[in-house]
């Protein structure tokens, strides 16, 4: 899936991520996460943090007896200025 997030300063950010991200971080959760971190880390680190957060969520589901496995987790963030 590809989502476009409008930033407050009218720059645009394109996010392309696998379902492993979107299942663990629904769109509004990701928007909140992105807005919280966008000014403190670069895009590469933001991607790493999103992957870590999604993986932790998947591992929580795995250990809580849900029988889930960790899905593929990949993300690309492109900031357009």
Average pLDDT over residues 4-14: 67
Q: Please give the tally of structural domains in the chain.
A: 1
How far apart are the C-alpha atoms of 60 and 80, rounded to whole Å?
34
Q: How much is the pLDDT for 39?
A: 86
How far apart are the C-alpha atoms of 30 and 63, rounded to whole Å?
23
**Please, which pLDDT band fits residue 80 given cuts at 50, 70 and 90?**
confident
Judge whether residue 70 has pLDDT over 60: yes
Judge whether residue 54 has pLDDT over 70: yes
Identify whether the C-beta of residue 76 lies closer than 8 Å to the C-beta of residue 17. Answer: yes
How far apart are the C-alpha atoms of 45 and 51, rounded to whole Å?
10
Q: What is the pLDDT of residues 18-48, one digit of tens each?
A: 999 999 999 999 999 998 998 899 999 999 9
- The total number of residues shown for the chain amounts to 81
Model confidence pTM above 0.95: no
Domain span at 73: 2-80
């Amino acid at each position: 899936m590809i989502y476009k997030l409008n930033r407050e300063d009218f720059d645009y950010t394109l996010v392309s991520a696998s379902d492993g991200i979107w299942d663990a971080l629904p769109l509004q959760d990701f928007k909140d996460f992105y807005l919280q971190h966008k000014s403190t880390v670069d895009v590469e680190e933001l991607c790493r943090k999103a992957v870590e957060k999604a993986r932790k969520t998947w591992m929580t589901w795995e250990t809580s007896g849900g029988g889930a496995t960790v899905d593929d987790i990949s993300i690309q963030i492109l900031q357009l200025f």
